[in-house]
Copies of this chain bind each other. A is one copy, B any other.
Amino acid sequence: MYIHGYGDRESERLLAQAASVVRLLHGDTRFPPGSRVLEVGCGTGAQTVSLASNNPGTQIVAFDHSTASLARAIDRVAAAGLSNVAFLHADLFALPFEAESFDHAFICFVLEHLSHPIAALRLVKQLLKPGGSVTVFEGDHGSAYFHPHSEIAHRAIGCQVELQRRAGGNACIGRQLYPLLVQAGYEAPCVTPRVVYVDATTPDLVDSFTRKTFTWMVEAVREEAVATRIIDAATFDAGIRDLYRAAEPDGVFCYTFFKGVAAKPAHLPREGGSNGRDV
């Protein structure tokens, strides 16, 4: 379940996030010309534009289960003048594709919302040709820290983590990409951290990331966190103030995304062994 909502501020937040971290995340995500690439859970297309423009020689098939998000993604990709993306309204667990029909797959900020991320990675693996690759991006809210330190701000972040957990997701999944890829049966996983370090020397990043990507995301769970009594309103608001405090001239904010790349084995190993328990 997508926990962040679908409002205008969330849409602006996703744009700020994509703009602020696009090079960090996607600067080295390139697929060979002629490849057929599946984007899993494209959402509003915030990543799709980077993916498609960085890989003009590829044919991208992007899908999402939310028609509202998909409509925005279609508009966004069209506005960017990109013609190498086909959009599909579909659910990950009921995709109308043949096995081994994609060269590569791209999954950005999706696994964090799934109850069974390993099952999802296995489904994607079935769609990949032998030797094909999966590229996964996830954040990790446990990687957030800042100056000045604030326990209350960490409690506010904890509300987001807890609500995402209750919705079946895992906001701290980034650190787990390596074991997830191994357990899903991929080969040669390579995970690299991508740190967003923000101080006053990069005022654009202070605004687009510290404020409008991270703090807004936490702030968006205020009503639900208070209604479900995970936290009281005053404490939550104090925590949010402390997050904005880290965006002041002497403040520092750190957050880490993880990129994982792994291959579908060229020769399929026998399924049903000890790895089979996780689906």
Contact = CB atoms under 8 A, between A and B. Distances in A.
Contact of A191 (B175, B176, B190, B199): B199
Centre residue among A140, A189, A201, A251 by max chain B CB count within 10 A? A201
A259 B265 CA distance: 39
Contacts of A195: 193, 195, 256
A114 interface: no
Interface stretch (A4-12, A60-68, A141-149): A141-149
Contact of A145 (B175, B192, B201): B175
Interface string A126-146: 000000000000001011011
Copy number in this complex? Answer: 2
Nearest to A173: B147
A210 B20 CA distance: 31
B142 A143 contact: no
A178 interface: yes
A252 B176 contact: yes
Interface string A250-269: 11101010000000000000
B192 A197 contact: yes
Contacts of A140: 145
A74 interface: no
B178 A199 contact: yes
Given A142-B149, A146-B175, 18 more contacts: A140-B145, A143-B143, A143-B145, A147-B176, A149-B172, A176-B252, A178-B199, A178-B201, A178-B252, A179-B250, A179-B252, A183-B250, A191-B199, A191-B201, A192-B197, A193-B195, A193-B197, A256-B256
A226 interface: no
A258 to B, nearest CB: 8
A182 interface: yes
Interface residues of A, number: 29
Interface string A230-259: 000000000000000000001110101000
Contacts of A149: 142, 172
A200 interface: yes
Contacts of A200: 178
A193 B143 CA distance: 13
A254 to B, nearest CB: 6
